[in-house]
Amino acid sequence: MKRLLSVFVLLGVGVLASAAPGKPRPEIMGIALGMSRDSAQAHLKSIGNLEKEERKRQEVWALKDPRVSHLLVGYDADYHVRYVTAIARTGGIRMRYEEVANVKNAQQVHTQGTHKFTWEVPEHRGQFAYVVMARGRDPDYLDSYSVKKLDQEEID
């Protein structure tokens, strides 16, 4: 049983943060930036339940996952994924900042009991620019992390 749980945790880490330890990827748990709303919802229905929808542009999904309790998904005006935020499950299997990407490559801010790691990924070969942020109160384990597509105005 312990070995099975270890395999599950390793597979879960691969799905949640498959880019570690290099460059962070523009997706969380199979929800990729730029993905259509229909595709995102089809995948989300397989891993959780829609809990709340705000003005058709943001959704909160409760997940059946030992590490992540919720995913927040925001859409742009064309209903493509603009951002995804994963909320760590309280009392669940904890996730280290290093599992998102190499922390040595991150901008780091540590203030008054909060820790924030930010990775900015510039536009490259037709791939849009995006930012990844991991936050938490613990210096080793995150409470949430997000990927967000950067608009041209945010880059300039």
Q: What is the tens place of the pLDDT at every residue in 106-141?
A: 999 999 999 999 999 999 888 899 999 999 999 999
Q: What is the spatial distance between Cα 70 and Cα 52, in angstroms, rounded to a whole number?
A: 11
Q: Is the pLDDT of residue 24 over 60?
A: yes
Give the count of beta carbons closer than 10 Å to the beta carbon of residue 51. 13
Q: How many residues does the chain have?
A: 156
How much is the pLDDT for 1? 41
DSSP state of 152: H
How much is the pLDDT for 156? 43
Q: Is the pLDDT of residue 3 over 70?
A: no
Left if phi > 0, otherwise alpha if psi is -120 to 50, otherwise beta: which for 107? Answer: beta
Report the predicted TM-score, pTM, of the whole model to 2 decimal places.
0.82
Return the higher-pLDDT residue of 127 and 44: 44
Tokens representing residue 9 in the block: 């945790």
